[in-house]
Amino acid sequence: MKSPFRPDTVPDPAILGLHRPLIRSLRRRGLIRGGFSLGALAMLTGCDVHRPEAVESALLAVSRWNDQVQAWLFDPNHLAPTYPESMILKPPKFNAYYDVMHVKPVNGATWRLELSGLIADKQPWTVQQLEALPQRSMVIKHICVEGWSYIGGWSGVPLRTFLEHVGADLRAKYVAFQTADNYPSSIDMATALHPQTLLATKYAGETLADPFGYPVRLRTSTKLGYKNPKWITSIEVTNTYPGGYWESRGFNWFAGI
């Protein structure tokens, strides 16, 4: 079965190279016009001058190297510190690449989790089916790349349990996510199999609220906040580097903590 993550026809990569200067200048103009009004992106305006392409690719090369160092540092058996339930921040802190009023709630009744890639049983899943699998709860610290943190309590099926259940190839390199808010994300298989990596459906014992990813989001204790996609709609197991929303804008991919 073909992955829904890939376009029907693959464009000739040369086209991208050919049009790169044009795309860059259009993007720049668009940004200057204020076409992108999002907070983090607003800072991109007119800054290409300070980031020559050679410097950019050198920094990205080091970032790739840092991915490998972090994978090497990652201990699959080391659990993140946990905290008493009394320390859970209620409600949790909201963040996204857009402001909260632009959150588009997902209808849990019609929602299905699609599966693709190196998975034996690709039947879509409902929320009830997910909640029927063995659940785990954890009270862990959420650490954002921006520097803030808070203690949150999450419950759901461990991603490992789910991947085993659907017959995923656990030797594959990546687990990739698509979401209802167009926030593609991906993690390494070692992290996917970590006991504190959940497909979370509950916060502080209650069904996830809309702004925090209802019905299902990823919650992993060993990565920065931006590696925890909300409103997940599909999961793919793959050996092809899937990247992600912030990663394609310069953030580090592994983002382990």
Partner 1 sequence: MRRIASGRRGAVGIGTKTLGAVVTVVAFASIAAPGARAQSATPGGMPPPPGMSLARSAAMRFPQPVRVGDLLHRDVLQPVESQNVLGTVRDVVRDSKGTILVVMNFGGFLGFGSRPIAVPVDAMALLGQDMEVVAFTPGQLRHFPSFASSDGVPLSPDAVIKVGLAKPSH
Partner 2 sequence: MDKDRQAGRRLHPLPVRIMHWINAAAMLVMITSGWGIYNDDVIIRGLHFSQFLRLGDWAAWSLNWHFAGMWVLVINGLAYLAYGLATGRFRQRLLPIRVSEVIETVRETLHLHIAHDDITVYNAVQKLLYILVILAAIVQVVTGLAIWKPVQFSGLVALLGGFQTARVLHFLGMVAICAFLLVHVVLALLVPRTLWAMLSGGPRLSRPALDPHLARQAVEELPRP
246 is a site residue for partner 2 (CB under 8 A): yes
100 is a site residue for partner 1 (CB under 8 A): yes
CA angle 137, 235, 102 (to 5 degrees): 80
Amino acid at the residue 248: S
* Contact window for partner 2 (CB under 8 A) among 29-37, 57-65, 114-122, 124-132: 57-65
Collapsed DSSP state (helix, strand, coil) of residue 153: strand
Q: How far is the CB of 249 from partner 2 (least distance, A)?
A: 6
- Provide Rg for the chain, Cα atoms: 19
Cα within 13 Å of Cα(245), Cβ side: 20
**Contact partner, 211, from partner 1, partner 2, none, Cβ < 5-8 Å per class:** partner 1
94 is a site residue for partner 1 (CB under 8 A): yes
Q: Shortest CA distance to 196 belongs to which of 13, 113, 74, 16?
A: 74
Token output for 172: 């594959």
149 is a site residue for partner 2 (CB under 8 A): yes
22 is a site residue for partner 1 (CB under 8 A): no
* Contact window for partner 1 (CB under 8 A) among 22-30, 33-41, 111-119, 163-171: 33-41
Of residues 68 and 239, the one with the C-beta less far from partner 2: 68
Residues 72-111 that bind partner 2 (CB under 8 A): 73-75, 78, 80-81
207 is a site residue for partner 1 (CB under 8 A): no
* Contact window for partner 1 (CB under 8 A) among 35-43, 79-87, 155-163, 242-250: 35-43
205 is a site residue for partner 1 (CB under 8 A): no
**Contact partner, 4, from partner 2, partner 1, none, Cβ < 5-8 Å per class:** none
Contact of 95 with 144, CB cutoff 8 Å? yes
64 is a site residue for partner 2 (CB under 8 A): no
Q: Any idea what DSSP says for residue 66?
A: H
Distances (CA, A) of 202 to 10, 13, 137, 208, 236: 39, 42, 9, 5, 23
Contact of 167 with 120, CB cutoff 8 Å? yes
Token output for 226: 């931006």
Q: Shortest CA distance to 95 belongs to which of 165, 57, 152, 55?
A: 152
Distance CA 179, CA 12 (A): 27
Collapsed DSSP state (helix, strand, coil) of residue 75: coil
27 is a site residue for partner 2 (CB under 8 A): no
Point out which residues bind partner 1 (CB under 8 A): 37-40, 42-43, 89-96, 98-101, 103, 146, 148, 150, 209-211
Q: Which residues of the shown chain bind partner 2 in the complex (CB under 8 A)?
A: 40, 43-44, 47-48, 50-51, 56, 58-60, 62-63, 66, 70, 73-75, 78, 80-81, 141, 143-149, 221-222, 246, 249-252, 256-257
